[in-house]
Each structure stands twice: as C-alpha cells, then as structure tokens.
Amino acid sequence: MSVAEDKLAPWMKEDALVEPWSLKVGIPFKERVKDLGAGALVAATFIGSGDVAVGATAGGYFGLGYWWAYWVTCAAAWAAMDISARYWLARKKPGVWMFTDIHWILGIFLAIFAVYFGVGNVNSQIGVAGQALTGLFPSLSWDVANIIVALAAMALVWFGSYNLTEKLFFWLLLMIVASFYAALVATGVSVADAARGLLPAVDPKGQFNSIFQAIAGTNINGAAVLLFSYTMMEKGQWHDSLTERAKILTKARADNLLASFGAAVTALAILGVINQIIYPHGIIPRKIEDFASLIEPVAGSWSIYVFSLGLFAASFSTAIGNGMLAAYILTDYFQVSTEASSLPFRVVYVGNALIATALLVMRIDPIFLKTVTSAMNAMFFGVVGLVLFYWSVSPKLGYFRNGKNIWLWALSLLMLAIALHVGVFNIFALFGIKF
C-alpha cells in the first residue's frame, strides 16, 4: 500500500508535471448519485449521541440561533475529508500515513488516540445505544441491552463485509433523519427562526465559545475525517491514470457532501424541536433522555419511541464507525492487513469492543483512558488541522495540492482556523481557563 519516499512512483512523477486542477473532467449527475454510499457511512458515524446532546444544549441556550455554526463547521469537515481523499489519490496511502509521513511521533500520537476511539468512544456509544434500546423495549435491563448492542456490532464486523456495512449505514442514516424530523413535524417548526438561524447572532446568554467548540467537535470529528480515505481504499477507488483519478475525486466530492452536511440537516430537526417547546421556557436539557421527556407533552407518548429509535441508530452506527476507524488506524500503523474483511482488522475491532462492553457491564468508567488522552484530546483538533493543511499545500500532492484554487485555499484556511480555535479552547480549559 505504501510508496517508498526515496523512490517516486510513476504516477507521482506525472502528477508533478501537471498544473493543479488543469484537467477538465465531466461526470454526469446520475453517475455521481449512483456512487454515493461511503458518505452515508461517514455521516452516520459523525452523527452520534454527542450530536444530540450538543444540539439539545445549543437549542436550550439559543433555539435555532446556532444553526449557522453547523453549516460553517460542516464546510470545514468537507474540506478536511477532501484533503484526506486527495492525499489518497496522490500517494495511494490512507489516513494514518498523513501523520507518519510527516514525523513518526505524529504516527504514535494518532495510534494512541485510536485506542481511545476504539475503547473509550465505543464504550460510551454502546451505553447510549443500550439506553435507547430500553426506551424501545422497556422490559429490557440496561445491562442486557448493552450486551445485545455490543454483540450485534461485533457480529456485523466479524461476519459482514464493507459493502454490507455501507448499505446498513445508509438505512441507519435514513432512520436517524426520519426519527428526528418526525418529532419536528409533530411539534412544528418556525420557518422564520430557521432562516434567522442561518445568520450569526450574539447569544444573549454568552455561551458562544463553549457551544461553538462543542458543535465543531461533533461535526468535524478530527479522527473520523480520516475514515473517508479508508472507504476509498475499501472500494478500490484509485487508478494509475491522473485523468481517471481526477474523475474519482469528482465523484468522491459529491459523496463527501452527504458525509459532511448530514449533521447540518439533522441539526435543523433537533434545534427546531427545542426552539418550539423548550427554548421559550429557558430550559437547558442536561441529559439526552430529557429531550424525549420534554417533548412528550406536545408530541405525545409515541415520541419516546420515535426519539429512542433515532438515538439508537445514531449511537449504534457511531459505535461501529468509530470502532472501525480505530481498527483501520491500528492495523495500518502496524502495517498488517487493513481491509475490513481481514482477520487483523476484525480482531482489533472485536477486542476493543469486548473491553468497552466489559467496562460498561462492570460499571467501570474508563477514567484511565480519559486521563491518559485528556491532553491529546485537547490539542487533537489543532494537530489534525495542521497536518491536513500541510498536505493540502504540499508539493508532494502534485496535481492534487491546492495550487491556485481560491476556493480550496479558503476552505482549507477555514478548516485550520476552526481546528486551532477548538484546540486552543480545549488546552486552556485543561487549566480551568475559559474565554
């Protein structure tokens, strides 16, 4: 998979001789739509229980007033995944190599963070999915629900295939969107408030920095943006010919729109419901389950089941997607078989999921993981932003670098600015400093 640094591959030499974005490739709209799929997988991975919690808090503070922040951060997420895809097409290497090709210390940094993703993040998402399952089936205990969720996730990865997972995630994404929009239809939506929410405004409660960094953290998801290049690897989206690779990128960018802006579309439903029935009363939902309880008097008792279904789809897909990303990074870092169908990949995913589930059943919060990775977590978005920006302008990407493309430069700078803002905010927060 990798290419020796001291020996340029033929396609790299060709890329270096062609001016960036000088090729004219046309892809019919129908063909772009036909190739959609990975975007749904990445979107469903992005939209987890954290998005519901952040949306509930943001809506409680300012109704639909922060909807614009979703569009801005989703644009930065699109740029981040676009750079990841361009790196793959230029160097035939997926995500982890973006770090190790700069310095081996960055590779270790990413690998350690992958352990947190594979255990700590999967632990929390399985727990929320189990909670949602008890909402759908009240007779189930939380422990049993957690075990069912974990076994289902492990079985899918162990016995399934990448293509099956991609198809499942498409339906899970539809379930997420349909569930939250069903609640929106039941409670109604203010079109005027939604329109105003597209323009930045001052939060009367002064929560801008904390809310914005939380929205950025759930939408850009520094590690999950690397997932897109691994989906391209799984689908065999690569070609020796530069023209064919340019066509692949054109189709990948359409898929990327679904992956990155799915959160903004879903946010309208979450923020819209809160804007109508919670925000006017000055209530700030502190727990995910509060969301359903607060809308029940307006939407009816069925809202508990509809909300639980959406929450289950969001957290279950994120548990699988983040666990898969950890398996991709770790197998790639140790240079063993990286494909989802390989034994090393399956062993890593199942091993992490077993640890995550055991911690849940034993009521052990993985504090040790959170403690070890707290400093890394604080600066992770900044590091990812710097790494991605480095590659977007690097001559090593040849044809696929930013070049003179003003739009790519603007989006790359936006991504970098948001990543650094979140990174600096979190580093200061480590020392109890808020701004």
Walk me through the domains of the chain, giving residue ranges and CATH numbers. Answer: 32-430 (1.10.4160)
- Give the span between the Cα atoms of 3 and 185, in whole angstroms: 52
pLDDT interval class at 162 (50, 70, 90): very high
- Give the span between the Cα atoms of 116 and 410, in whole angstroms: 32
* Cβ–Cβ < 8 Å for 283, 60: yes
What rounded mean pLDDT belongs to the chain?
Answer: 86
Q: How far is CA 268 from CA 42, 197, 236, 313, 366, in A?
A: 19, 10, 35, 18, 33
% of the chain surpassing 90 pLDDT: 49
Cα–Cα nearest to 56, from 289, 305, 220, 304: 289
The runs of H, that is alpha helices, within 63-202 are: 67-91, 97-100, 104-115, 122-136, 142-159, 162-187, 191-196
The one-letter amino acid code at 371 reads T
Q: What is residue 273's predicted lDDT score, i.e. its pLDDT?
A: 86
Q: What is the CB neighbour count within 10 angstroms for residue 49?
A: 23
Helix (H), strand (E), coil (C) string for 350-375 = HHHHHHHHHHHHCCCCCHHHHHHHHH
185-242 tens-digit pLDDT: 878 888 999 999 999 988 888 888 888 888 888 787 767 788 999 999 999 999 999 9
Q: What is residue 281's predicted lDDT score, i.e. its pLDDT?
A: 76
| Helix/strand/coil for 402 | coil
Q: Return the minimum-mean-pLDDT range out of 63-72, 112-121, 192-201, 216-225.
A: 216-225
Cα–Cα nearest to 51, from 305, 193, 269, 263: 263
Residue with tokens 């998005």: 51
Q: What is residue 10's predicted lDDT score, i.e. its pLDDT?
A: 81
**What is the separation of C-alpha 286 from the centre of its chain, rounded to a whole number of angstroms?**
23
* Cβ–Cβ < 8 Å for 292, 135: yes
Tokens of 333: 């870092």
- Give the span between the Cα atoms of 175 and 172, in whole angstroms: 5
122-139 tens-digit pLDDT: 998 999 999 889 888 989
Q: What is residue 374's predicted lDDT score, i.e. its pLDDT?
A: 54
- Give the span between the Cα atoms of 222 and 216, in whole angstroms: 9
Q: What pTM value is reported for the model?
A: 0.91
* Cβ–Cβ < 8 Å for 92, 1: yes
- Give the span between the Cα atoms of 216 and 74, in whole angstroms: 8
153, HSE (Cβ side, Cα atoms, 13 Å):
34
* Cβ–Cβ < 8 Å for 307, 52: no
Q: What is the CB neighbour count within 10 angstroms for residue 160?
A: 16
pLDDT interval class at 35 (50, 70, 90): confident
**pLDDT surpasses 60 at 71:** yes
**String of b and e for 350-368 (b: at least 16 CB within 10 Å)?**
bebbebbbebbeeeeebee
Q: What is residue 392's predicted lDDT score, i.e. its pLDDT?
A: 95
* Cβ–Cβ < 8 Å for 142, 129: no
Q: Return the minimum-mean-pLDDT range out of 149-163, 208-222, 408-422.
A: 208-222
95-104 tens-digit pLDDT: 899 999 999 9
| Helix/strand/coil for 23 | coil
